[in-house]
Amino acid sequence: MLFPLKLNVFERYMWADDRPTSPMSFFVRVLFSGRLDRASLVAALETALQRHPLLHARLAGRRERELAWVSSPKLLPWFDMADEGVPMLFPGSFRIDLRKENGLRIWIRHHDDHGEIRFQFHHACCDGVAANQFIADVLCGYDCEQRQPADAASAYRPLDFEGLHRRHRLGARQQNRLLHGLVSAWGGFVRMPLFFLTRPMSLHAPEDANGHGTDIHDTVVPELLTWRFDKAQTDRLLAAAKQSNATLNDLMIRDFFLAMRAWNSRHSGERGRFLRILIPFNLRGPEHDRLPATNVMGMINIDRRFKQLSRLSADALLDGIRDETRFLKNSQLPAAFTYAMAVGEKTMGSLERIFQTDRCLTTAVLSNLGRIFTDTPLRRHGGKLLAGGLVVEAIDTAPPVRTGSGTSCTIYTYADQLSLTLICDRRCFSSAVAVQLLNRIVVQIEQTAHRTPKEALAAPTDITARS
């Protein structure tokens, strides 16, 4: 029997840092064309949820270390389906209370020939990779309901429910016990204190264009702001990264630093302290291939001071980031985040004590999901998934935004198109200012796509925001 299933340290961390002002949940938007059949979708959701137990579970237990997943009395989550244009409203509040409801909510807005499905996932239940895994199962289930193939079971890959008991183990990634111990010690006694004791700058929120406060924050589902780069721009970005012996992720980190520096310099003129980008890392290995939706991730932070950003050329900044990310990955430090949480929990007695602060812990979060839905066994047209009579036009997501941080972003490629999705703290950033911030980042990336290597060496790091 799977339940009750004790929470691991990462899940306890997501529960401890989950507050009304900054809920630890994230959204995924699925845009489709075609006429949606409600009965087929509900049947597909039921099938997919039976394959992913943590998405129809709730929390029980009084003390932090006693918290456990238990089976929810309801398989289906909170579900709201209406015509296009009807506002998406929370059923009570933004925060999902895992003691009272499942860690998933769904809104559907549709017209005759197009629509949108919006998912809200509690991060204690799953990470972004697993959310896409669940959505892929929903789409496969919908396709089976619509087309009635001879062997519908073949649309789903086999899953190992008992593997959830081992979801926190990294297996082959941690075969070297000495390295494991060193990483744990470094993460728990060096990197974690530095993370909490240092004070990065937050993104400046103009006082004359601030957000809406708690009213809209706790009532209306936030918008995901997305920019899509065309194939020519994407190819040039990949070529620029390859020419610098770096990854596309390194290139995006560099451009985020430059964009954030330009944003803060323009709006506040402040050049002190430093900027920090928090980067989630997918830690899945072969031992996790058959896991249902869960969290298998670590995190690292990369810090840069304003003086460094102004002194270095764009290429020199990229070289430093490339070398740092290589070291972090090769040393397995992304896994140290979980070990650091475990050490902190034992030292402080509770993760809630660690995360009581509302001050800025990171300037921004940048997640790179890479190419998404590449192994989904669905038909495709022009690289886009086909599910029954639906064409999945786009799939967009962004990580949670914590109090004190300004924004979270995700980059990913779907149907050979690179996209960037951003979500801002609505209590600090109005919709118009959030669009300006997205434009600032996009302009920086587009400039990179159009630079030659020589231009990159000499190019100034400041940019002008588009209107």
Locus of tokens 């744990």: 184
Q: Kindly indicate the confidence band of residue 466, based on its pLDDT and cuts at 50, 70 and 90.
A: very low
119-148 pLDDT per residue, tens: 999 999 999 999 999 999 999 999 999 987
Structure tokens belonging to residue 51: 């394959």
The residues, ordered by sequence, that sit 6+ positions from 239 with a Cβ below 8 Å of its Cβ are: none
344-388 pLDDT per residue, tens: 787 777 888 777 777 788 999 999 999 999 989 999 999 999 999
Considering only 23-27, 239-243, 268-272, 400-404, which range has the smallest mean pLDDT? 268-272
Helix (H) or strand (E) holding 122: strand 114-122
The whole-number average pLDDT for the span 232-243 is: 94
Over the range 189-213, which residues count as b (16 or more CB within 10 Å of their CB) and which as e? eebbeebeeeebbbbbbeeeeebee
The whole-number average pLDDT for the span 111-122 is: 96
Higher pLDDT, 316 or 214: 316
Three-state DSSP at 424 gives strand
The whole-number average pLDDT for the span 401-419 is: 91
Taking a C-beta distance cutoff of 8 angstroms, is the pair 46, 75 a contact? yes
What single-letter amino acid sits at 269?
G
For residue 213, the model assigns a pLDDT of 62
Cα–Cα distance for residue pair 207/21, rounded to 1 Å: 19
For residue 389, the model assigns a pLDDT of 92
Q: What is the pTM of this model?
A: 0.91
Our CA angle for 429, 434, 435, nearest 5°, is: 155
Cis peptide before 193 (omega within 30 of 0): no
Beta-ladder partners of 367: 410
DSSP 201: P
Which strands make up the sheet holding 390-398, listed edge to edge? 78-83, 104-110, 114-122, 25-33, 390-398, 384-387, 380-381
Within a 10 A sphere around the Cβ of 54, how many other Cβ atoms?
A: 26
Taking the domains of the chain in order of start, what are their residue ranges? 5-167+175-458
Calculate the average pLDDT of the chain: 87
Closest Cα to residue 188, out of 388, 19, 337? Answer: 337
pLDDT surpassing 50 at residue 313: yes
The CATH number for 5-167+175-458, chosen from 3.40.50.12500, 3.40.50.2300, 3.90.1150.10, 3.30.559.30, is 3.30.559.30
Helix 248-267 vs helix 431-450: crossing angle, to nearest 10: 130
For residue 456, the model assigns a pLDDT of 40
For residue 459, the model assigns a pLDDT of 38
DSSP 190: I
Closest Cα to residue 35, out of 108, 94, 135? Answer: 108
Cα–Cα distance for residue pair 448/240, rounded to 1 Å: 8
Cα–Cα distance for residue pair 221/426, rounded to 1 Å: 11
Taking a C-beta distance cutoff of 8 angstroms, is the pair 211, 225 a contact? no
Higher pLDDT, 153 or 460: 153
